[in-house]
Amino acid sequence: MNIIFKIWRQNGPTEKGELKEYLIEGLTEDMSFLEALDYLNEALVLKGEKVIAYEYDCREGICGQCGIFINGRAHGPHDHMTTCQLHMRSFKDGETIVVEPWRAASFPIIKDLIVDRSAFDRIIEKGAYISARTGTAPEANALPIPKLVADKAMDAAACIGCGACVATCKNSSAALFTAAKINHLNSLPQGKAEQHQRVQHMTAQMEAEGFGSCTFTGACEVECPEAISIANIAEMNARKLKANLLG
């Protein structure tokens, strides 16, 4: 396959960026999208040019590092998929593919396609944990958790923190990310004691980081690799109301 890539190049956070065009020939349909970029980078090195900076690690769809905007969609043309799971068979020979970094004020660009998502970590820092010390736990089965509750917690816990929800949202809202974590912990008995604080502190941090507010367009759910439901956001809002009343 021959592909024309239009890729965002930006040398540093404060520098100006632009889309640059690259033609690559000889790709195969079996290649993953990231392998196609690897291939392009090898060619750039041999030409003496700087490589395109992009991120990835596990290439198994789970580490959440490989977020890229492809042809105007987070992680490319498919619903519920990470960039590393995307294969060139999803594109046509001769196609032009536009590749850009996540665009959100709270995710500043570091270089080329790499953005800084540490705002997510700071939201986690504000309460996405259960305050128990190591080595103090009671016997695990002493606290039964019905399957339906555990499954629901797991549905929310599946979030991989890739940031596609923010990138795809017209308001750059981090509501899906934050809601997923809150609902995971708040729905479990272990998380109940700190539930009100958790929702208040985490949502406050989300706002402080400059993420926009949620207007329920549902775009995030479509792009989320784990298909985390936007019902989580409604639930978070309800929890927040309750926390404000009772907290």
Residue 140: what are its φ and ψ, rounded to 5°? -60, -45
Closest separation in Å from C-beta 146 to other proteins: 5
Q: Which is nearer to other proteins, 12 or 215 (CB)?
A: 12
Which range binds other proteins by CB under 8 A, 53-61, 95-103, 209-217, 238-246?
A: 53-61
Is residue 198 a contact partner of residue 127, using CB atoms and an 8 Å limit? yes
Query: Shortest distance, CB of residue 223 to other proteins, whole angstroms?
Result: 15
- Residue nearer to other proteins on the CB measure, 90 or 217: 90
Q: Which of 210, 201, 115, 124 is nearest to 163 (CA)?
A: 115
Map the footprint of other proteins across residues 4-43, applying CB under 8 A.
Answer: 11-12, 28, 30-32, 34-35, 38-39, 41-42
* Smallest distance, other proteins to C-beta of residue 161, A: 6
Task: Give the closest residue to 65 by CA, choosing from 165, 167, 162.
Answer: 162
Is 122 in contact with 178 (CB distance < 8 Å)?
A: no
Q: Which residue has the tokens 């991989």?
A: 160
Whole-angstrom distance, CA of residue 166 vs CA of residue 163: 5
DSSP summary character for residue 8? E
Is 43 or 98 the residue whose CB approaches other proteins more closely? 43
CB 210 within 8 A of CB 105: yes
Q: Footprint of other proteins on residues 72-101 (CB under 8 A)?
A: 81, 85, 87, 89
Span interacting with other proteins, options 44-52, 165-173, 215-223, 231-239, rule CB under 8 A? 44-52
> Least distance (Å) from other proteins to the CB of residue 239?
16
Give me the residues paired with residue 7 across strands: 20, 99
Structure tokens at 115: 């953005």
State in angstroms the smallest separation of the CB of 19 from other proteins: 19
**How far is Cα 8 from Cα 103, in angstroms, rounded to an integer?**
11
Closest to other proteins by CB, 117 vs 240, is 117
DSSP conformational letter for 204: H
Task: Name residues contacting other proteins, limited to 187-246 (CB under 8 A).
Answer: 188, 190-191
In the range 102-161, which residues lie near other proteins by CB under 8 A? 110-111, 114, 116-118, 120-121, 124-126, 128-141, 143-151, 153-154, 157-158, 160-161
Structure tokens at 85: 């799971």
Half-sphere exposure of 227 (CA within 13 A, CB side): 4
Instruction: Show contacts with other proteins in window 156-195 (CB under 8 A).
Output: 157-158, 160-161, 184-185, 188, 190-191
CB of 216 to other proteins, least distance (A): 26
